[in-house]
Amino acid sequence: MTESNFSLKKIEISVSEAEKRTGRNAMNMQETYTAYLIETRSVEHSDGQSVLTDSLWRRCSAFEWLRNYLLVYYPHIVVPPLPEKRAEFVWHKLSADNMDPDFVEGRRIGLENFLLRLASHPILCRDKIFYLFLTQEGNWKETVNETGFQLKADSRLKALNATFRVKNPDKRFIELKHYSDELQSVISHLLRVRARVADRLYGVYKVHGNYGRVFSEWSAIEKEMGDGLQSAGHHMDV
């Protein structure tokens, strides 16, 4: 596949595997992370021949790097979000450990959906950096750095700060900002309350689950009360 073909032909993209790895970070400290296998294959070919599948490994930070670049260079486009790095709440039935197999599988599916949404966008699918993300094994981050997107992001932030320093701002915008700040505070408080309620409810479910196991084991010991205890354990499980 060539870069020009990428923007013209249909591409099958999948994140097929996740692998736990150990390496050194930027501070030269050993860390454990998860790498994901990205596979791409051309659906159409000019001479009708089959095309071999291209594959490479990317860690989560590379996905974040790609999205940050797209946010800077395409401010008028809503760039798809990335899945969460870890389970935030215990009632998700996932371990808070980001190496938990169930969580890793969910994140793999989320990362695949992220790439598929980028590939289906009429503008983002033609971006050179996105194409190289799928096909260039090494030095991809160096290529992104050469675009100067970080300097552009910093300059945009400074320009944004300058716009807030208006001497005579429109009162309508001030009122709208105050309303949005208040709304954000109320929603944040509501989410915190919801988290506490959900945690307590999850605790109740765990207690009932333990009771069900205890009654079931107890029923095997008590001969006269066995049926009743087993029925109680069943109702606790339900």
Whole-number pLDDT of residue 238: 78
Tens of pLDDT, residues 119-128:
999 999 999 9
Contacts of 33 (CB under 8 A, 6+ apart): 20, 21, 22, 23, 59, 60
Rounded Cα–Cα distance for residues 232 and 236 (Å)? 6
Whole-number pLDDT of residue 2: 39
Rounded Cα–Cα distance for residues 134 and 6 (Å)? 10
DSSP, residue by residue, 130-183: HHHHHH--SSHHHHHHHTTHHHHHHHHHHHHHHHH--SS--HHHHHHHHHHHHH
Residue 5 confidence class, pLDDT cut points 50, 70, 90:
very low
Whole-number pLDDT of residue 216: 81
Pairing assessment for the beta strands 11-24 and 54-59 based on DSSP bridges: unpaired
Question: Rounded to 10 degrees, what is the CA torsion of 13, 17, 19, 25?
Answer: 10
Whole-number pLDDT of residue 164: 58
Tens of pLDDT, residues 36-94:
999 988 776 555 555 556 889 999 989 999 999 999 889 889 999 998 776 555 444 44
Which whole number is the average pLDDT over 19-24?
82
Tens of pLDDT, residues 161-211:
555 566 677 888 889 989 998 999 999 899 888 888 888 888 888 887 788
Structure tokens at 179: 């309303």
pTM of the complete model: 0.61
Q: Is the model more confident about 114 or about 221?
A: 114
Single-letter residue type at 230 = Q
What are the two backbone dihedrals, phi and then psi, of residue 14, each rounded to the nearest 5 degrees? -145, 145
